[in-house]
Amino acid sequence: MMSVLIVIHLLVVIAVVGVVLLQRSEGGALGTGGGGGFMTGRGQANALSRATAILGTLFFVSALLMSILAGWNRAPRSILDETAPASKSSTEKPAEPNLLDQLKGGGAPTAPTPSK
């Protein structure tokens, strides 16, 4: 279900980008101002405005549905209920020092010895 909704959402996003790029530029600061195209006149403004509004609504609805579906699968949990890492017992051998510890000590790093 979620993958179908993601595909629909991506198609709506691509359509929104396309419709917005088709609209005529009203400001002259960023380019030539739109010029003529395959859609001209008042019909362009009404059709593209309506398409933008519909696609924007579909975008928000699909985003909300995805967040609701993702929330249903998530179980509530508390960080206080998590167990602390167990302390090492005395029978375990200590961990080998890492490169950062060796550099802090001032000694040159040595190659790790193979475990037996």
As given in the structure block, the two tokens for residue 6 are: 């993601």
For 5, 26, 106, 112, 114, the CA distances from 99, given in Å and listed in that order, are 47, 61, 11, 10, 16
Centre a 10 Å sphere on the Cβ of residue 113 and count the other Cβ atoms it contains. Answer: 7
Least confident of 50-54, 75-79, 91-95, 108-112: 108-112
The whole model's pTM is what?
Answer: 0.52
The predicted pLDDT at position 35 comes to: 54
CB 19 within 8 A of CB 48: yes
**DSSP secondary structure letters along 58-113:** HHHHHHHHHHHHHHHTPPP--GGGSPPPPPPPTTSPPPPP-HHHHHHHTSPP-PPP
If pLDDT is split at 50, 70 and 90, which confidence band does 110 have? low
Q: How confident is the model at residue 96 (pLDDT cuts 50, 70, 90)?
A: confident
Q: What is the pLDDT of residues 11-69, one digit of tens each?
A: 999 999 999 998 877 765 555 555 555 555 566 678 888 999 999 999 999 999 999 98
pLDDT given at position 41: 56
